[in-house]
Chains A and B, each alone.
Chain A
Amino acid sequence: MMELLGIPPQVLFGQLLLGLINGSFYALLSLGLAVIFGMLNVINFAHGAQYMLGAFAAWMLLKFAGINYWLALVLAPVLVGLLGVVLEKLMLSRLYKLDHLYGLLLTFGLALIIEGMFRHWYGVSGQPYPIPQALAGGYNLGFMFLPTYRGWVVAVSLVVCFGTWFMIERTRLGAYLRAATENPVLVQAFGINVPVMITATYGFGVALAGLAGVLAAPIYQVNPLMGSHLIIVVFAVVVIGGMGSILGAVLTGFMLGILEGFTKVFYPEASNIVIFVVMAVVLLIKPAGLFGREK
């Protein structure tokens, strides 16, 4: 059989597909971060914790209210997003006049507190969350077995990513948003309520993290540490893509997922640092990131 770089093509294609699947999580999470940074200039370090909250919300809805996956897919992100709105109103909104660093420190602290609480209440082993019946099983693609659920994750992520990009880059609402970040005073003068828009944007970004959490719950355990494992990688993705660039975040998310998949074939031990190697190289060559604009 033909081999590519000493690896049978079956394995290679399999890893490519897995990379795409992981990439869809990276894309979904970095999209939320990019939206929040691009519109609010807040480096949302609580994103990982909010992703974890999404997973826990789905688990709690199932366990305590018997609400199934499909409803949770809508309800959990809404709940987490509302929490984000409260957070923005009570805390973040007071920091906009200060340096970025304050927002980062606040959200980082919040992430530690939220994760610490859940660790205290639920331990670290995680809680089981079943794959919904309709998405159980999988397809034999010849070169690998594709679980239906993973295919679903890729599809949802692609739709949501495209939808968000479209909304911000191609609609009137998106145009207001982009204008408000450039010159809030002027936009306000046109009679648009900028503070409400900003709050809603943060809530939306957080809801995206919550959605990723619900999608992740059946694959990984629902675990208080799940966010902190992922957040650093996702930040690297956003930095490589260019801070605040929506398209950059999404494309880089998928790209790096695939790159990581390849690394797992050729040199598995390096799989958790390859993204940071890329980040270092990109920052040296193009400090604004692959898709970012130099300011």
Chain B
Amino acid sequence: MLKQIMAGTALAALSVGFAAAANAQGAISDGRIKIGVLNDRSGIYADVAGEGSAVAARMAAEEFGNAIDGTPIEIVVADHQNKADIAANVTRQWIDREQVDVIADVPNSAAALAVQEITRDKNRIFLMSGPGSSRLTGDACSPTGIHWTYDNHALAAGTARALTEEGKNTWYFLTADYAFGHSLEEETTAVVKELGGQALGSVRHPLGNSDFSSFLLQAQGSGAQVIGLANAGNDTTNAIKQANEFGITQAGQTLAGMLLFISDVHALGLDAAQGLVATTGFYWDMDEETRAWSAKYQEKMGSKPTMVQAGVYSSVKHYLKAVQAAKTDEAKAVVSKMHELPIQDMFAKNGKILANGRMVHDMYLARVKAPSESKGPWDYYEIVRTIPGDSAYLDAAASGCKIAQK
């Protein structure tokens, strides 16, 4: 790390002179396109994003031969350890000293909100795949921030709508006690209420909690028809596993993992996970294209990609296309190219970026298969329906983003 920093500093110092000259020609600053993949590489979201996101970003770069018009593409990675202050420090250091042009991924909404502030101030692009908070394209939106893979509004719109329409209209929440969990609970409650349902209450648990039995007991005591898990990663898998143990689903309550990744299903095993409903932005087994890409990914990582990892690939690829078309890496120019160019790849069909930075694409409602239905490892989801992008995501005017209201 120290070596990298020193090398980076030296490089940055060297390239200051070149950068000035290069900018004058409107070309690419400092002679390289540097992409920083910042995420949790050791904590509870390391399998959701982690090294897999870096691999996905590298796969995108490889498709351009690791260079655009002779300018090399370089990918650097860092671990934010789910801490907003570390995320902010790395981002500042990357931008100020290492000439990083774009920050990608950043799961954990608290960390992403911190990065959004800095990239907005310093005019760098922020491609969000991991975080869920809808604030990132709402009151905290940025002209250079693009939210790619999913958000809490889409998750709520998918899962909560599906279950409430089935007649399950009283909800109780187990909520991870930080920005992401709060926002997911709020968004879901809004959807449930809109459809005539009722939120009976919630309990907020610390992030990275291992024992959920107390909270589950409270949820059970509430008598709600649905227990909404407004959390992610290991928190979700532990809660689901322990809900099985306490006979909660057998007693008639439905468990809804508001944010469930395929890595979570893999970790739980189908025995424990079967029947869960989830909203996802990507599933590897959708069509020829997704299967081909995911097979390539699996060769490198040994697992199928989560929607976050596939989203990193898609967002980085679109960014590189825009740089190629704009012939510059100046953030505003590239962003406007990204808005302009059609988004068409294995991840998103007919995607579009709204004025508030929201990339709108179709989402999918999936039901986890029973062990008897699954044909092998990673054959986990049955796609119940496609949720058209326009109904999954808020439109820019309603998002509360000031840029979009001009």
Contacts and interface: CB of A to CB of B under 8 A. Distances in A.
Do A and B come together as binding partners?
yes
Interface of A: 8, 10-11, 14-15, 18, 21-22, 119, 123-128, 130-131, 137-138, 144-145, 147, 149-150, 219-221, 223, 225-226, 229-230, 261, 264-265, 268-269, 271-272
Interface string B213-230: 111011011000000000
Contacts of B220: 145
B246 interface: yes
B46 A123 contact: yes
Nearest to A147: B245
A126 B234 contact: yes
Given A125-B267, A225-B43, A219 B214 contact: no
Interface in B272-286: 272
Interface in B206-258: 206, 208-211, 213-215, 217-218, 220-221, 233-234, 237-238, 241-242, 245-247, 251
Given A145-B220, A147-B246, 6 more contacts: A123-B263, A126-B267, A127-B267, A268-B203, A269-B206, A271-B206
Contacts of B400: none
Contacts of A225: 43-44, 234
Contact of A128 (B44, B251, B272, B303): B272
Contacts of B339: none
Contact of A221 (B203, B204, B209, B237): B237
Contact of A125 (B205, B211, B215, B266): B266
A31 B266 CA distance: 34
Nearest to A226: B210
A123 B47 contact: yes
Nearest to A137: B247
B389 interface: no
Nearest to B218: A11
Contacts of B237: 125-126, 221
Given A149-B245, A221-B241, A124 B210 contact: no
Given A219-B245, A221-B238, A18 B204 contact: no
Nearest to B211: A22
A229 B209 CA distance: 8
Contacts of B241: 128, 219-221
A130 B44 CA distance: 21
Given A125-B47, A125-B234, A14 B217 contact: yes
Nearest to B248: A145
B330 interface: no
Contact of B217 (A15, A119, A149): A15
A191 B326 CA distance: 85
Nearest to B251: A145
A152 to B, nearest CB: 12
B213 A269 contact: no
Contacts of B221: 8, 10-11, 14
Given A126-B267, A261-B214, A268-B215, A145 B246 contact: yes
B264 interface: yes
A264 B205 CA distance: 9
A124 B42 contact: yes
B396 to A, nearest CB: 34
Nearest to A127: B267
A90 B330 CA distance: 58
A21 B203 contact: no
A63 to B, nearest CB: 12
B50 to A, nearest CB: 8
Nearest to A131: B245
Interface string B174-204: 0001000000000000000000000000011
B269 interface: yes
Contacts of B47: 123-125
A128 B269 contact: yes
A211 to B, nearest CB: 18
A271 B207 CA distance: 11
A102 to B, nearest CB: 26
A128 B215 CA distance: 21
Nearest to B272: A128
27 contacts: A11-B217, A21-B213, A119-B46, A124-B42, A124-B45, A124-B50, A125-B264, A126-B237, A126-B267, A128-B268, A130-B271, A137-B247, A145-B220, A147-B246, A150-B213, A221-B267, A221-B268, A225-B44, A225-B234, A226-B210, A261-B214, A264-B215, A265-B214, A265-B218, A268-B214, A268-B215, A269-B204
Nearest to B221: A11
Contacts of A226: 210
- By Cβ-Cβ distance, the 4 closest A-B pairs, closest first, are A125-B267, A264-B214, A128-B269, A125-B47
Nearest to B44: A124
Nearest to B48: A125
Contacts of B44: 124, 225
A125 B233 contact: yes
Contacts of A18: 211, 213-214, 217
